[in-house]
Amino acid sequence: MDNLTHSLVGALMGQAGLKRRTGLAMPALIIGANIPDIDAACFLWLQGVQHLAFRRGITHGPIAWVLLPLLLAGGLWWFDRWQARRGKRPAGRLPVRFGWLYALSLIGTLSHPLFDWFNSYGIRLLEPFSSRWFYGDILFIIDPWLLLMLGAGVWASLRREKRGGAWRHPAWLAMVAITLYICMNWAITRDAARLASLDMDITHTIANPAMLDPRKRDLIWVGREGRHVAIPGFAGPTEDRLVTQPMGDAWLPSCDLAEAARRDSQVAAFLFWSRVPFVARDGDGSLFLRDARFADPRAVSRFQVELPPGTCTQFFGQ
């Protein structure tokens, strides 16, 4: 998910009562909820689409779940002692207990891979022990309704706390609402994916969440002779509302992507990340490798790599 969502998740857990466990609890929860994204530093040394193969891996896996909270808790504990030595420690701050600080850093950190798993971008939950990608296909990467519930819960809790009321209640209510919302989206994804049972030559179905309408899914039918997507977004079990079309221009089995990957590290990185690759041609005949999950014209430029000429030998419509 986006980092605003992760931050609000950490803040909401704090407003649910966890921030009273130790001093600096809120920084532990909020920073912990974002800290696996330190892998974004890879943009400093990786070129092109190579970041797709690096991100959501080692810093999102089991070793990082233990070490990153430890580093965060240690840093916050040192910061508290440093402020105290300088006489700058806020008088109202609760005593800092390292055990609780580590526990809250761990809770915040674990919330990050959980919410990243909810979308279709993918996450390597077992890295470095396994490079397998996991996908929840439950929420869009930036879900405005989830952001609204998170923000409302944090705002209402802080407002009530300022007035001396039961400030934990709004946060808990928001957490229940968010849980129900996630469960609803899981059920929609599951039901939409059942279209794989239609009488078509399909290996499996991906129900990709839409951005603004949680009822809809872009159905990507992974077939043996290419990729097919249902357009517009599926909003119910009415088969006559589906319009299918091939994704891309090339018949994928005719494309020697393995050889292209050996020749070009950019292609290799893209294929490692891609879940539903397809090949498209532009006006001058150049071939581009893309992914059906991110085929929107507004995003496709960030999720494509050019293929060497002659990679594919057969094209649709020829």
β strands within 17-56, DSSP E: none
Q: Which of 234, 258, 241 is nearest to 308 (CA)?
A: 258
- Nearest-angstrom CA–CA distance, 16 and 152: 13
Chain-centre distance of CA 203, in angstroms? 24
- Which one is predicted more confidently, 228 or 178? 178
Residue 203 pLDDT level (bands cut at 50, 70, 90): low
CB within 8 A of 177, min separation 6: which ones?
149, 153
Cα distances (Å, whole numbers) of residue 221 to 183, 245, 263? 23, 10, 29
Number of alpha carbons in the 13 Å side-chain half-sphere of residue 36 = 35
Give the other-Cβ count within 10 Å of 184's Cβ: 13
Structure tokens at 85: 């030595």
Residue given tokens 């299918």 in the structure block = 244
Rounded to whole angstroms, the Cα distance separating 87 from 84 reads 5
- Name the pTM for this structure: 0.89
Residue-wise pLDDT for 52-105, tens only, equals: 999 999 999 999 999 999 999 999 999 999 999 999 999 999 999 999 999 999
Q: What percent of the chain has pLDDT over 90?
A: 64
**Mean pLDDT, rounded, for 225-233:** 60
pLDDT confidence band for 244 (50 / 70 / 90) = low
Dist CA 234 CA 220 (whole Å): 10
| CA max distance for the chain | 77
171 Cβ contact list (under 8 Å, min separation 6):
12, 13, 15, 16, 17, 153, 154, 156, 157
